[in-house]
Structures are given as C-alpha cells and as structure tokens.
C-alpha cells in the first residue's frame, strides 16, 4: 500500500512540474496558460454566423458567414498571430461559390514578368485582334 501511495505522489509531482518544450528556434520555454481575452460566437441557425477570438499572446481571429446562392457558406474574416521576431502576421480572406482567396503580404506571389515577356504578350494580342493565327 505504501508503494502505491509513494508512486501516486511521484506521479503528482511529475505532472505538476513546469513543462519545457523546444520551439522552432531551439529555445527552451516554459509553458504557461494563455488567457483568452474574447471568445464570441453567434450562430443564427440559418447560415448566418459571427465568430471572434482573441488571446493575450496576440492571436486573433474573426469570421462572418452568410448563406451563399449555391448552398455554400460565404465567409469573410481575418486572423493574425505574432511571428518570432515580434511582428504581427495578418491574413484576410473570403470564401464563396468561387473558392477561397487569402490576402497578406506574407503570401508568396509570382515574380513580375520581365519587360520582353510583356512586349511579346502585347504583340500576340495585337496579332490575335488582326485575325492572325499560327499552327
């Protein structure tokens, strides 16, 4: 019986000890609870809803949804979170019958076309307008 009590006490101490983990930058940190500042949710049951969440560590998310014309939900919202350098990343998005579109300076974009490529496209459009075709 004493062994079981001793084992239970050791397990309780192990669970209560501060937990350490290694993040992406190999810096040990101590986990602690993060306070939820706001958590507001409204669902009207007809496809209309609102959602807003904010935590003390800078994480924020909101979304507004309405019924779509083709049975889908149309959703518009944003989320943001802190980056390791202390800046805040933000993404704005919307989704409807045409799909999902996200906008953020963090999302990679294709390189601009070089001037000669733009000129070739312009020439091809002129030729197409003149009825010129190539086989």
Residue extents of the structural domains in the chain? 34-129
Instruction: Give 59-114 pLDDT, tens digit per residue.
Output: 999 999 999 888 888 999 999 999 999 899 999 999 998 899 999 988 888 888 89
Residue 87 CA neighbour count, 13 Å, CB half? 5
For residue 118, pLDDT over 80 is answered with: yes
Band of residue 19 on the pLDDT scale cut at 50, 70, 90: low
> Coil, helix or strand for 16?
helix
Helix (H) or strand (E) holding 22: strand 20-22
Q: Which residues contact 57 (CB under 8 A, 6 or more apart)?
A: 34, 82
Other beta carbons within 10 angstroms of residue 78's beta carbon come to 16
- Which is higher by pLDDT, 68 or 22? 68
pLDDT category of residue 1 using cuts at 50, 70 and 90: very low
């Amino acid at each position: 019986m004493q062994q079981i009590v001793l084992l239970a006490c050791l397990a309780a101490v192990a669970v209560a000890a501060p937990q350490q983990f290694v993040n992406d930058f190999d810096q040990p940190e101590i986990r602690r609870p993060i306070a939820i500042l706001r958590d507001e949710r409204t669902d009207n049951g007809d496809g209309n809803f609102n959602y807003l969440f904010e935590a003390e560590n800078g994480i924020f998310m909101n979304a507004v949804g309405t019924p779509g014309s083709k049975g889908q939900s149309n959703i518009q919202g944003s989320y943001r979170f802190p980056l390791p350098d202390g800046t805040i990343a933000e993404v704005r998005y919307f989704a409807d019958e045409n799909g999902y579109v996200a906008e953020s300076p963090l999302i990679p974009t294709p390189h601009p076309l070089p001037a000669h490529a733009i000129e070739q496209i312009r020439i091809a459009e002129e030729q197409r307008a003149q009825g010129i075709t190539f086989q």
